[in-house]
Structure 1
Amino acid sequence: MDSVLFNDFSAIQNEGDLLLLMDNVVESLGLDGFLFAYAINGWLPSGEPGEIQRWLSKGIDKKSLKAWLAPFDRASRKDSDVNRRFDPIRRFMVQQTIPHQFLLTDIIKENKNEYTLVEKRWINSLIKNNVVNLISIPVQLPPSEYWSLSFFSKNTRYQLESSDKARLMLFAHQLVYHCIDNLQWREDGMKYSIVKLTAREKDCLYWSAQGKTANEIADILGLKTETIRKYIKNVMKRLNARSKTQAVVKAIEFGLLDIGISHPKTDNR
């Protein structure tokens, strides 16, 4: 397996090359498939998983993958049982930094109380699709990016060795940085975000999130108060937000705003 995991990534020029590499890794591990996914935000302030910007997979039923990736239907709550909002593995892994292996049939048999009924339905849906043994490798990058590499098998007896976990963790990090530096996954992820905001609109939202009024933001940015209100109104409309607070929350959810950084008092447009 080492020869595959310590592959020369410089030979990976596109996603076709990447898929061939992952096929070799899956085969060398004796598994059935994989899912590699990138989200600008791993978990949102609303308590739900972030939108998946890019992904690559093989061995997963297309209907199930589409349901897992689908946007949430917050109004009707009629999302598929396999939608990622019900994904207990992801909920756990966004807080982890090392690989974990899950035997999904054991989770159901043991009737563990930490899983809700909808989460158990999510697990059962995967088991029905022959995803029984799941290996998840997380890569967390600041400020809140979540990259996940998962392998799966229908073999209940498959057990990953500790040494293999270490190798997979290194491989996953190399894979992520190659996708960022050479395959433009991060750039494309930002490009395909649902909404685009200008730098000035982000300035207004940032200072709103800090509790500043329109008058105070105008003083900070050297603009007129009415101009600030116009920026915020435009943002609310594009984000379909009913209030300034909701606009801030949605901007964070979509990866458009990072309120954890120090914001300079500039007047760059």
Structure 2
Amino acid sequence: MQKGDTVGDTVVETEGNMKDNADYSTASVLGGLELLSAQYYRQNFSRHTHEGYTVAVIEHGAQRFYRTGGQHLANQDSIILVNADDVHTGQSATDYGWAYRAMYPTPEQFQSVCADLFQGRDGVPYFPQAVVHDPELAVQMRLVFGLLSNGQDRLLNETLLYSVMTRLVLRHSRSRHQFRQDSIPSRALNLVREYLDDYPAADVSLVDLAHLANLSPYYLVRQFKRYFGLPPHAYQVQARLRHACKLLQGGETPAAVAVDCGFHDQSHLTTHFKRAMGVPPGQYARQRNMLQA
């Protein structure tokens, strides 16, 4: 569970065809979130600490490690939780090693995510269990790691990351608190909706929208979905599709529409357009033009 010392691929030769391989990167979310994807066979980490948390999901194999005064075993699909400054180790628990994906949020990053989550709560979470079995959360973590690695769609990436981190706190941290029960701040939420409607192509982040509404990011996501039926990133996609329909009706090509509406490329537009409209954008434009002729 120790981060690599270099950016990019780090490969260490081992016996036979087995190689230890670790890929360290930094995502732009939360001001810079450290990530690691690794496959280890013979790696044996000595006792060490990190300034931030270690949150990892085992992809395959199993890892044995020390944390919090005892030995622990993490097998496939389990989640490893190491608190900031916890002394821990790491080594394979099988003959074929282990692979995992991990993130290393700092206490400040966890605090920023959870600041408005509970009534009257300050500070950072403490995870008493070193290994937890939460299949639903493990799937969500894999999704987040995959999205963060490609660096696209900031609003979606931040929304899912905030969701994963808050679920970790709610389900597995020592303290249990009730959610805020404030009334829905409709005026603030309408500001966010109007922004997404007026600027559908904007590469806006969840933090930007939260500042606009003067709400915490996680609280914004929960209340926006409760009020409008969709979380902000999904609403943004719908706003982009509405704008795309207008541009297609005006004669723009699907490739140009994709750029003008904030999609990564024409393929990305086509995927979302067909899911919403039932036909690809080119067919939609042709049939609309035939009806108007």
Same fold at TM > 0.5? no
Q: TM-score, normalised by structure 1?
A: 0.28
- In our comparison, the structure showing a higher alpha carbon Rg is 2
Structure with higher RCO (Cα < 8 A, 6+ apart): 1
Q: TM-score, normalised by structure 2?
A: 0.26
